[in-house]
Chains A and B, each alone.
Chain A
Amino acid sequence: MVVLLIVLGLVVGFSASVGSAHIPFGTVWKIMLSKLPWVELDGTWSRNTEIIVLDTRLPRIVLAGIVGTALAVAGTTYQGLFRNPLADPYLLGVSQGALLGAVIGFTLPFDSHGLSGQSLIPLFAFIGALGAVLAVYAVARSGRTLPVTSLILAGVAIGAFLAAVNAYLIIKSNNEELHGIFNWMLGYFGMSDWNEVVIVLPVAVVGTAALWLYARPLNVMQLDEEQAQHLGIHVERVKLILLIIATLMTAAAVAFVGTIGFVGIIVPHAVRLIWGPDHRSLLPLAALVGAIFLILTDTLSRTVTGPEQIPVGVITALAGTPFFLYLLRTRRRGTFF
């Protein structure tokens, strides 16, 4: 855990130093530390450098980290809740719902980028995501219980329906709208600023902490729902609470940066393969690994091909798959640490 925290620090520093203007690793850290109220450092760097680090790169890095955390933690929760290794944060229609919201936002007749310079797309996407999950929930609910199988089936069905609607709307849209939508779909950190960080950070932090408090019930629910009840777990209540938290975290992440695949499904698996299935360690570890992974891949996405940026979703899949396959081939619990 400590090792991962140090790695996270190094990754943040590394990521902030590379880019179109290279800034030495040490300088990056000095700039960041100098902003802490109790640290006094002599500024030997230019004003420009400081702006690049603090206002251009850092918000993007922090946002990538938070989104990585949110997706990895939500993915861990969904996989645990559904006892299904294929579950990912988008299973219940979050991504298609968010996309529908975003598409509507992009194609609205009035300029949705207005309103004091803040884009309204995240708001549309967030509402769309929650709307889709609510619909899935309403369909899957039977009496006072929420059968997992119905939930997954309803998620898949409503996701497919929304995908069709989205496809239609996208075909009908013009070129300029299309470009925006497409960028958003594959995950785009380009417009990140501190305002977004301030909105997503509390959701991710509070959400992770809240989920962690339910780590033991989640462990016991790995048996099956009946056995969990025999052991005193209020299964339906725990399920509902976990679903709400994980969905809010996913929706907040998706709303700002679009659908970034892979993080939410592979990071939990990788962490589980390496450190074992106990959610009390799994959740915080997934949070850190998710952050590190997405910061690294986002750094790649903005540096590899120069000014032209590759969507981060492409990198996560390209870079993550080989690593995951390697883990899968050599899997054995406890052989890593």
Chain B
Amino acid sequence: MLSVERVALGYGRHLILHDVTFSVEKGEMIGIIGPNGSGKSTLLKGICRLLSPSQGRILLNGRDLEGMSRGEIARRIAVVPQAPHLPETFTAFEIVLMGRTPHLGRFRFEGYRDFEIAWKAMGITRTQPLAERTTDKLSGGQRQLLTIARAIAQEPELILLDEPTAHLDINFQTEILDFIKGLCRESAVTAVAVLHDLNLAAQYCDRLILLGRGTVHALGRANEVLTEENIAEVYGARVHVYPHPVNGLPTVLISPQGR
């Protein structure tokens, strides 16, 4: 459903990614991994057209993103930003309801259906008890869940997540990724997530894209991408990779120097 073809992305003259090519199938959950500054967030910005590629093209269901309006893109692609700013005087429900924006004409108010969709999205993310609270009274994890609820209310075909589990405890991390995974399985939503934690990426993603040296270094299933050699080459870190004791997926372990 998404195909990225020989794309180059950057800010002005400063090129960050080049020759990026991959495609994503409907219902897949894809993880983008790579060291700091390898262009993970830049790639996400390209896919939601906050940045336009200087070369190549990005197709959504066969249509070039460049030919689509902001509204059209927002009806198909939702983005969950990393630690987003939420205006503190709005209530949680109002924030989730904003997800309906691309589906409403400028002169139309939200209707009963929109309230229902927003409320259901809060049900899926278990944020309904927070609905009446203003956002300044929510924790970091709750805010993250709220932006995911907003993305769900947007009814997109594709959800992009920029480190959705950063700053969250281990319980929230699994909870949030379970939600996303569930969405992909049950509602045939496609997800592309930037993830910092290699073990989370291995556990949850159908395929991984490892970025390094300005382009795609490796692409495939977790056991193909997360090898000791790949990680040493891209991150410059010496790690040990073992199969997970329960499901056999690769697990990345570190050992401090001198031990």
A: residues with CB less than 8 A from B are 83, 213-214, 216-217, 219-220, 222-224, 226-227, 229-234, 272, 276-278, 280, 333
Contacts and interface: CB of A to CB of B under 8 A. Distances in A.
Contact of B89 (A227, A234, A276, A280): A276
Contact of B99 (A229, A231, A234): A231
A230 to B, nearest CB: 4
B199 to A, nearest CB: 28
Contacts of A233: 70, 101
Contacts of A333: 89, 134
26 contacts: A213-B106, A214-B106, A216-B106, A217-B101, A217-B106, A220-B98, A222-B87, A223-B84, A223-B86, A226-B50, A226-B81, A227-B79, A227-B84, A230-B50, A230-B74, A230-B78, A231-B101, A232-B74, A232-B101, A233-B70, A233-B101, A276-B89, A277-B89, A277-B90, A278-B94, A333-B134
Contacts of A234: 69-70
B92 interface: no
Contacts of A219: 98
B154 interface: yes
Interface string B131-152: 0001000000000000000000
Contacts, number: 64
A234 to B, nearest CB: 5
A75 B142 CA distance: 32
A227 B74 CA distance: 10
A39 to B, nearest CB: 35
Given A213-B107, A226-B81, A231 B87 contact: no
A220 B106 CA distance: 12
Given A220-B98, A222-B90, A224-B84, A232 B71 contact: yes
A230 B85 CA distance: 13
Nearest to A219: B98
Given A216-B101, A216-B106, A231 B154 contact: yes
B73 interface: yes
Interface of B: 48, 50, 69-75, 77-79, 81, 84-87, 89-90, 94-95, 98-99, 101-102, 104, 106-107, 109, 134, 154
Contacts of A278: 94
Given A223-B84, A226-B50, A226-B81, 14 more contacts: A213-B106, A214-B106, A217-B101, A222-B87, A223-B98, A224-B84, A227-B84, A229-B50, A230-B48, A231-B74, A232-B71, A232-B74, A232-B101, A234-B69
A216 B50 CA distance: 21
Contacts of B109: 280
Given A277-B89, A333-B89, A333-B134, A231 B102 contact: yes
A232 B84 CA distance: 17
A277 B70 contact: no
Nearest to A235: B70
Contacts of B48: 230
Contacts of A277: 87, 89-90
Contact of B70 (A214, A216, A232): A232
Contacts of B90: 222, 277
Nearest to B94: A278
B90 to A, nearest CB: 6
